[in-house]
Structure 1
Amino acid sequence: MSRSLRWLGWSSLAVAVAVTVAIVPPMVMPSPVPVAPSHGVPSDVASPVASPVGSAIASPSFAVISLHAADDANLRKGARVIDCVSCDGGRRVGYIGGPNTLAIRVAGVPAAGERTLTIVYETQDPRTLRIAVNDGPVHTMSLAGAGDYLIPARTELTVFLPRGTSWIRFFNENGPAPDINRIELR
């Protein structure tokens, strides 16, 4: 009888270990972190991992928003639309600076978060550009451009974009700012 009990004890222990191995790891181990699709990244290069929960970084599902500065939905106080053969859409907004401002309307943002703002601009001389989203913090950039109003240049910065509709303001109360052609948000 002691041999039967010993066999029953070992069998029970084996079943208990198997059940523990099957149940405990999924409870203890974190779920796999979703990985953003790797567009054009070779398979032997690690893909970027999604940001932790609660992060202010843009979600992978955020669609790129591209807006033209000369669009009728934007507000121009003193700034004017200028025809430009080398500009996207054939126009840009100039005469920004001093009391003159440009505000580009960004509608339909699905979730708040930090986004990369790409600004396509033109300037012949180095100029200062100030940018603010709604009444948020003001970002100041010194931009040299390409040295010609017919050659677009690009710059990027990170801004916090709230959910819904916002206005991105371009100004320089201390002097002239570069002309703005278009923006992209990613």
Structure 2
Amino acid sequence: MNRRWLGWAALGLAVAATVAFVPPLLLPGEGGSAGLSPAPPSPSAFWVSLHAADEANLRSGARAIDCASCDGGRRVGYIGGPNTLAIRVAGVPTAGERTLLIVYETQDPRTLKVAVGDGPVHALSLAGAGDYLIPARTSLTVFVPAGTSWIRFFNDAGDAPDINRIELR
């Protein structure tokens, strides 16, 4: 009987501690009994994840390739020389510097050039994971104007890595 009483006491203590130290869960649109409401998003808060193989993107010579290990099951390859990829980013609330994360695949070291709209060209020397089936990631800071813009991926001097997806934060 003592063991059972100890078990119930421990459970009661755990529930009391949880109530005392864990804030209540408030779902969007609920005021909750605590009178808390979610903070409004910052006007500059913006995050988007886009797949390179999306049909809305512009590919000049580059083409979508099936890829079992890629997000979304496809990536865009054959970028380089005259072949380019441009990914449309819409709904950016305010202009400013953002972090661009690029998920790519390459077997050999390659150079990737990136430009947002008519902005400066960023040249990245990427080694990758040494295999087209192993995604790698890199990031850089870019200036993104408010509204809609295009992020171009190219290498006019040689082959570029394949692009799987991007995130813009």
Q: Secondary structure at the match of 2:156?
A: coil
- Measured against aligned partners, the alpha-carbon deviations of 1:88-126 in whole angstroms (never above 9, x if no partner) come to 000000000000000000001010000000000000000
Q: Tell me the distance in 2 between the aligned counterparts of 1:163 and 1:71.
A: 22
Measure the CA separation in 2 of the matches of 1:64 and 1:163: 13
Show the counterpart of 1:117.
100
Provide the residue aligned with 1:108 in structure 2.
91
Q: Give the RMSD, CA atoms, in angstroms.
A: 1.0
Distance in 2 between the 1:147 and 1:131 partners? 21
Letter in 2 for 1:125: D
When Rg is computed on C-alpha atoms for both structures, the one with the higher figure is 1
Distance in 2 of aligned mates of 1:89 and 1:107: 20
Q: Secondary structure at the match of 2:72?
A: helix
1:156 aligns with 2:139: yes
* 2:58 matched residue in structure 1: 75
Map 1:107-186 → 2, pairs under 5 A: 107-186=90-169
Structure 2 contact 44–94 (Cα < 8 Å) conserved: no
SS across alignment from 2:103 = strand
- What SS is found at the alignment partner of 2:56? coil
Deviation digits for residues 38-96 of structure 1, max 9, x if unmatched?
xxxxxxxxxxxxxxxxxxxxx67513110000011100000000000000000000000
Q: Please list every run of at least 4 consecutive aligned residues from structure 1 whose deviation after the TM superposition is greater than 6 angstroms.
A: none
Gaps of 5+ in 2: 1-41
Q: Distance in 1 between matches of 2:139 and 2:91?
A: 21
* Aligned sequence identity (%): 84
Give the aligned residue type for 1:138. Answer: V
Structure 2 Cα separation of the partners of residues 111 and 138 of structure 1: 21
Equivalence for 2:81: 98
**TM value normalised by structure 1:** 0.67
Give the AA of the match of 2:92.
Answer: V
**Cα distance per residue 1:116-166 (max 9 Å; x no partner):** 000000000000000000111000000000000000000000000000000
Aligned mates of 1:136, 1:118 — CA distance in 2: 17
Letter in 1 for 2:69: S
Per the alignment, residue 21 of structure 1 pairs with none
1:112 partner letter: A
Distance in 2 separating the partners of 1:116 and 1:61: 13
CA distance in 1, matches of 2:136, 2:78: 17
Aligned to 1:84: 67
Say which SS state the counterpart of residue 145 (structure 1) adopts. coil
Structure scoring higher RCO (CA < 8 A, sep ≥ 6) equals 2
